[in-house]
Amino acid sequence: MTIKNNATTIHFMTRLKTYQSPIEREKTLRYFKTPAKGEADQFIGVRMGQVFTLVKEFITMTPDEIEKLLESKIHEVRAGACSIMDKQARSKKTTPERRKELYDLYLRRHDRINNWDLVDVCAIHVIGGYLFDKPRHILYKLARSKNMWERRTAIVSTAYFIRKGELDDTYNLVEMLLNEKEDLVHKATGWMLRFAGDKDRTRLLNFLDHHAPTMPRVTLRYSIEKLDNQQRAHYLGLKIKRGDGAVNSRSRSEANAIQAFKSSRVKSGKSSSI
């Protein structure tokens, strides 16, 4: 991979700041969770579309320079770093040695890949793509991590395997994460179940038959978004019943929520993807 002389951290940050906007900054603050206790993420107000367009000029940046971007406290700078990693990992011109460097960099600096969008931008190809023809024990280690972003990496990385028709790791990791506490891991888990269902609907339905009553509600809702109305109502209905068939004390409000959900789905026809 040929290195351009201007593909440096300083040049990237200088260019990025020309797009910053106080108005955009206020908008983005609504969507992002604080990455760690006591550490508030910083935004300068650059739209992600602008970040990703700018990144195309810095595709050849070296891992050393990418790591400097990851060290930034500015979210959009770290998003740029993750996007550069992703684009290099996707490129057919990238050498096996560079793919290994990117994989190692991601894992070594996961402390800086610390929000849902940063994980989602590059985990699929940097981690999943690298591991496709290799042992995948690291994903199970990440799934047991105390760090919620590492757990999200574990499940999101399996999107690469799903695209290739391999679903076992996705379902194994989902089962490990069924007792997960964090909403943003619930969403990623449901997202991967939905994606796996695109490849094998019967396997998804069999999984839901067994786990829907005890799955986190957000995970369940994400996983069933592409099912028909009757199937969605069926699996949501399982959430309001105990294993012995008795309805719990929240059944009325839960049932109302189900009906509201069904109505909104019919009207909008939209899916969530966070």
Reported as a single tens digit per residue, the pLDDT across 121-131 is 999 999 999 99
pLDDT (0 to 100) of residue 28? 84
Q: How far apart are CA 93 and CA 1, in angstroms?
A: 7
Give buried/exposed letters for 175-203 (b at 16+ CB in 10 A, else e). ebbeebeebbbbbbbbbbbbbbbeeeeeb
Q: How far apart are CA 130 and CA 112, in angstroms?
A: 20
User: Could you tell me the pLDDT band of residue 33, with boundaries at 50, 70 and 90?
Assistant: low
Identify the weakest region by mean pLDDT among 68-77, 165-174, 240-249: 240-249
Q: How far apart are CA 58 and CA 77, in angstroms?
A: 12
Average of pLDDT values for 36-58?
A: 87
DSSP 195-251: HHHHH-HHHHHHHHHHHTTTS-HHHHHHHTTTS-HHHHHHHHHHTTB-TTS-B-TTH
> For residue 162, what are the contacts with CB-CB under 8 A and spacing of at least 6?
170, 192, 195, 196, 198, 199
CB atoms within 10 A of CB 210: 11
Average pLDDT, the chain: 87
* Higher-confidence position of 247 and 158: 158
pTM: 0.84
User: Could you tell me the pLDDT band of residue 247, with boundaries at 50, 70 and 90?
Assistant: very low
Tokens at residue 192, please?
A: 């991967």
CA 109 vs. chain centroid, Å, equals: 17
User: Could you tell me the pLDDT band of residue 254, with boundaries at 50, 70 and 90?
Assistant: very low
For the cut 60, the answer to whether the pLDDT of residue 61 exceeds it is yes
Condensed to tens digits (0 to 9), the pLDDT of residues 73-104 reads: 999 999 999 999 999 999 999 999 999 999 99
pLDDT (0 to 100) of residue 6? 75
Q: What is the DSSP letter of 123?
A: I
